Structure 1
Amino acid sequence: MQQHATGAELTERRAGSDAVGQTGQVIRLARIACSAVMIATYSQSSPDAWAADPVMMLLLAHFALAIAGTLAVRRLWWLDPLLAPAETLLDFLAVSVALYATDALLGPFFVFGVPLFMSALLRWGWREAVIVATAFIAVYAAGGWIDWQQRGLAALDYGRLLARTGGFTVTVLVATWIGKHPRVIALSSPRIPPNDSDRTRTLLLELRRLAGAETVTLATVHDRSAVTIRSTDPAMDGMTAGFAPEQLLAITRRFLFQLDPPRKVIDRGWLFGRGALSRRVGAYEVLASLHARQALVVPISVQDVRGIVVVARRNGMSTDMLDLAPWIASQVSAAFLDDLRFRSVRREALMEARLRAAQDVHDTVVQDLAGTVFRLQALKSWITAGREAGSEIDRLSEDVRSAQTRVRDYIGRLRAPDDSTAPCDLLAEVEAASEMSSRTWGIACRTIGPPEPVPAPAWLGQELAMVVSEAASNAARHGEASELAFRLTVEAGEIELTIEDNGRGFPEVPGASAAPWSLNRRVLALGGTLTLHSSGRTRIVVNIPFEGQSDQA
């Protein structure tokens, strides 16, 4: 319940970042501002600029188209990759005409080459930016050559020519070096509690918050089997997929899409191809089944799990969301690996607990039942021989009730909080187990130990008691012993429990360990060792590390 409350809180902490990846719109707004400045600058440099001047007409047309493009892409986001190259070419044409219509070397229009270059760098990358910058410098140099042809060599202002081209080149080189790194939008890391019971849903809620999305859906296929769907939308979370796993596995590239009308923008990675527009949306059934009208699709692959993450937005769609894909893929992959490790650790802990419980049941319940059967067989012999069995039946009933109490206590310890650090007396635990084993198996058991109590954690006392019970069971059932002795010795840093009986010992099996597996496993789990001496009589020595009181028997 605690984790689910945390997940509910995450749904309310929306980042409101609907503007993640809005470079295209920023460039268009800057284009409108630069176009207005160019019109104002040209009107001041040319007295007849408003008298049917073709250059002014071109600049006004550029201004109008800049406004129209901004409004169109704001309404139809998928037009951005289609309009971007044409808009850049129109910018280049407008700046070039303004340069040639005025004094190319001395005029103010050279400065507009900087936003032209920066827009290409921000929108596409350093390669496209270098191409635009090189073309602009070539146009500017050509303008200087034309001035040289018209005015003569002496009229050229070489200082300004070199200053402008040199400064612009340095700016291009620095910006290109900075922009050469891969374009990746990195948001804050998702906050996933270490002991979260539903880590996948918490991750999706965090992605929704960080990306400012309407819904985030994860569809995965494990070993090409059935599709698993998790979503921040409760109506979709865990729903049955309406498509085959092969259809999901066919999606291998990141893209943006909208279903009505069908449009898809892929990141093709070519020159001036930040996004390529297509009127065909692949895997239409997959996307329609995930109830996303328009969204970013990110393929993921983690070990033997493959699938897609669908980040759906109602508003704020843009081609720059493609830059969000690597970050989303890395976060989902990391969360998947963490979840796999978490599940693996939990599975190992569960298996260890199950083995531990199985061993405890074997050494308590099974041994008690075996002892009861042993005594019932003896009781049958008594009755057959005509001996009085009433008192033995009473003792047997009392011992069965005691065994029932021990089982209830064991179940209670499993259900209750861990109290294993509570103190106990090791010698008392060994004596109680020895006495119970004597009654259960009908053999003489005696315990020898230190004169003073041996304080230790309760869990260690329980473990030693089970070692005593298991050893007595083996001696009576398999060794046919009639006497059994337990000697407890506590020395610095170690407990030694010596078990001796007068039975026939363990059989020698070549290449195998004669030590009883249940005893050996329990001692090894305590970090101790078990040594078996079996030559006529059986002698078992158990040594266990102990950081308690040091007493010598």
Structure 2
Amino acid sequence: MFLPKRNAPETNDCADQRLPRSHSGLVLAGMRNLVALFLVLWFWMAPSHAGLGGTATAALLVAYLVFALILLAVAWRSWWYEVQLGRPAFIVDVITLLSALFLTKAVALDFFSPFIPFFAFLTLNSAARWSARSVWLIAGGLVLGFLLTGWLVDRGGLSIDMARFARRFGSLALLAVMLVWFAFGRQLSGAARYERQCCAPMYGAFGGVLRYAMDAYGARGGVLAWLDEGETRPHLHAAGTMEGASLSLSGGMMAGDRPFLFGKGGQRRIVLMDRRTLSATQDEGPVGPIAVRDGDEGLAIPIGSRTGRGQLLLYGISGMNSDDLFTVQGVAREIAAALDEDNAETLAREVALSRLRSQIATDLHDSVIQTLAGTRFRLQALRNGVVEGKDIAPDIDMICAGIAGEQDHVRTIIEQLRQGRIQPGHRDLREELRAVCAHLARHWMIRIAVAEVEEPVMVSAALCFEVQQILREVTANAVRHGKATAIDLEAACVEGRIRLEMIDNGEGFAVPHQPRSIAGRVAWLGGDLTVTSVPGRTAIVVSLPMGFA
């Protein structure tokens, strides 16, 4: 699939959303060098080398320093080998600690203090790489190793001060507990919040989340494969250096719930198995739905939301390392929430447009169509008047006035549509109904009597408009279908609701039939409609909530 490059600006005016990243592998390698150097210097400065194991101890510590320097170079150059060599290097660390303790007899002599930072380093190293349960086991194993070394030294003929040995043993055990608690009691850095109003208007929903993730990790390019619920084929979105690149779907399954680093075109992967455990694998299969080119390396983030699922690949991350895997959960959560919110807004807009179309159709039916029907009704009456020789000029003037009034009404509807809302404010429903009833009476040549109400009935302008539309439809139906000549109208506020009662003297109709247009509008307003009809009397009662705005 070829994605054309868009002419969007590359710079992002959003606030800095870069994650506070770390590189624990490189830091641990540096700490190993400091520990090794400290041991060598302390041994060299000791007054009696022979009593501390002599040449054997010196060879062990120098070899360990060289080993630490090699691992530092590896961690600096390759995140792959840094993780791959983590477990073997830790085994060498433990062997060096216990061997040095035995050779120097530090469990019994005064050369013990240099091994305290060594023990702390091993505990923190394991906490940075493995689960809490594994670290507790390792810390316990180190403490037991100290006991075993003391027993071997004692068996070798050196008398041990048990009080001093117990103090050292207790100190190591307490230090292990504190270090493990400190390592796992602290939370990893969270992801910055995704600001939709900053990114989405410029780049769209998918472009916005791509740039958010790129900013978080300092990536130069990104690709998102997204599969909406109910669809069978994901679609691709690219940003940064990947815009305009030739991309294709690999045919692989959508990503699971595990993020990973990938290199060598996806053949090398460091997978985050749980919150703390990393697993290094070599796999020839696809990394997900996106085909990765040879030589590419980056970070793969699975994303799952209520409306779909997908995989995000970030390329060109400066200083990429295994610590980046521990922050992806927060980033994925922000992206999923942003896409869900965008989907919800899209659905809301579609629903609003559907309601608007329905409302326009209803308003046109209740105003324009009914006005044309009334005009046709009046013109037929005028033709009869011409045949009978009557003066029809006053009737023509009334028809013109009625059409002019309806023109004003249609202009009002159009203006409301342009503004997206009814004009704000409140109206006295009594006065508004008197005005519209006078117009309807002239237009339909019918008597409309409005019952007097002492107290004003104040309603919102929106509700007043809806009541007028209901009255227009009731009047048109009464004249056209019921051949009514009079309508009695009463409007009042009863128990916090607007109650409209409209009674005409028409021919009536079969109940439980309800006028569809009126029933639909009342239901949309959250009201109740009651219709009773017998020949000579049809009563329509509408009850509407006051809160409609």
Alignment equivalent of 1:429, drawn from 416, 432, 440: 432
RMSD, matched Cα: 3.9
Q: Are 1:104 and 1:140, in contact at CA under 8 Å, matched by a contact in 2?
A: no
Residue in 2 aligned with 1:445?
Answer: 448
1:25-424 to 2 correspondences below 5 Å:
25-45=26-46, 53-105=55-107, 106=109, 107-108=111-112, 109-111=114-116, 112-151=118-157, 155-177=159-181, 179=183, 185-193=189-197, 198=204, 200-222=206-228, 223-233=230-240, 236=243, 242-243=248-249, 246-249=251-254, 253-259=258-264, 262-268=267-273, 274-278=278-282, 280=284, 282-283=286-287, 286-288=290-292, 293-303=296-306, 305-379=308-382, 392=395, 395-416=398-419, 418=421, 420-424=423-427
Secondary structure in structure 1 of the residue aligned to 2:436:
helix
Residue in 2 aligned with 1:538?
Answer: 538
Secondary structure in structure 2 of the residue aligned to 1:264:
strand
Structure 1 pair 159/426, CA: closer, same or farther in 2 (3 Å)? same
Secondary structure in structure 2 of the residue aligned to 1:148:
helix
Unaligned 5+ segments in structure 1 are 1-6, 548-553
- 2: CA distance between counterparts of 1:343 and 1:298? 25
Residue in 2 aligned with 1:3?
Answer: none
359-368 or 250-259: which moved more? Answer: 250-259
Equivalenced residue count is 530
Residue in 1 aligned with 2:4?
Answer: none
Unaligned 5+ segments in structure 2 are 1-8
143-152 or 208-217: which moved more? Answer: 208-217
Secondary structure in structure 2 of the residue aligned to 1:63:
helix
Q: Are 2:531 and 2:539, in contact at CA under 8 Å, matched by a contact in 1?
A: yes
**TM-superposed deviation, 1:525:** 4.6
**TM-superposed deviation, 1:36:** 0.5
**TM-superposed deviation, 1:297:** 0.9
Structure 1 pair 292/355, CA: closer, same or farther in 2 (3 Å)? farther
Q: Are 1:183 and 1:323, in contact at CA under 8 Å, matched by a contact in 2?
A: no
Q: Which residue identity lines up with residue 258 of structure 1 in the other structure?
A: G
Q: Which residue identity lines up with residue 263 of structure 2 in the other structure?
A: Q
Q: Which residue identity lines up with residue 122 of structure 1 in the other structure?
A: A
Secondary structure in structure 1 of the residue aligned to 2:240:
coil
Q: Are 2:223 and 2:313, in contact at CA under 8 Å, matched by a contact in 1?
A: yes
Q: Which residue identity lines up with residue 269 of structure 2 in the other structure?
A: K
Q: TM-score, normalised by structure 2?
A: 0.82
Residue in 1 aligned with 2:25?
Answer: 24
- 2: CA distance between counterparts of 1:526 and 1:317? 58
- 1: CA distance between counterparts of 2:361 and 2:36? 80
Residue in 2 aligned with 1:517?
Answer: 516
**TM-superposed deviation, 1:307:** 0.9
- 2: CA distance between counterparts of 1:288 and 1:297? 11
Structure 1 pair 273/326, CA: closer, same or farther in 2 (3 Å)? closer
Q: Deviations over 1:187-240 (max 9, x none)?
A: 343344599765554444444434444345432112343323345539749x99
Q: Deviations over 1:289-322 (max 9, x none)?
A: 7x99432212222235121122334312111222
Q: Deviations over 1:341-368 (max 9, x none)?
A: 4444444444444433332222112222
Structure 1 pair 384/266, CA: closer, same or farther in 2 (3 Å)? farther
Q: Deviations over 1:158-192 (max 9, x none)?
A: 11222222222233334445556798552343344
Structure 1 pair 299/452, CA: closer, same or farther in 2 (3 Å)? closer
Q: Are 1:220 and 1:308, in contact at CA under 8 Å, matched by a contact in 2?
A: yes
Secondary structure in structure 1 of the residue aligned to 2:532:
strand
Alignment equivalent of 1:487, drawn from 483, 487, 490: 490
- 1: CA distance between counterparts of 2:189 and 2:424? 51
- 1: CA distance between counterparts of 2:333 and 2:233? 24
Secondary structure in structure 1 of the residue aligned to 2:290:
helix
Structure 1 pair 366/77, CA: closer, same or farther in 2 (3 Å)? same
Structure 1 pair 65/151, CA: closer, same or farther in 2 (3 Å)? closer
Structure 1 pair 139/491, CA: closer, same or farther in 2 (3 Å)? closer
- 2: CA distance between counterparts of 1:467 and 1:36? 91
**TM-superposed deviation, 1:40:** 0.6
Q: Which residue identity lines up with residue 270 of structure 2 in the other structure?
A: V
Q: Percent same amino acid at aligned positions? A: 25
Structure 1 pair 315/52, CA: closer, same or farther in 2 (3 Å)? farther
- 1: CA distance between counterparts of 2:242 and 2:121? 47
Q: Are 1:368 and 1:403, in contact at CA under 8 Å, matched by a contact in 2?
A: yes
Residue in 1 aligned with 2:5?
Answer: none
Structure 1 pair 216/131, CA: closer, same or farther in 2 (3 Å)? same
Q: Deviations over 1:109-163 (max 9, x none)?
A: 43122211221112223343344334433443333223222326xx211112222
Structure 1 pair 146/297, CA: closer, same or farther in 2 (3 Å)? same
Q: Are 1:80 and 1:318, in contact at CA under 8 Å, matched by a contact in 2?
A: no
Q: Are 1:422 and 1:457, in contact at CA under 8 Å, matched by a contact in 2?
A: yes
- 2: CA distance between counterparts of 1:39 and 1:262? 40
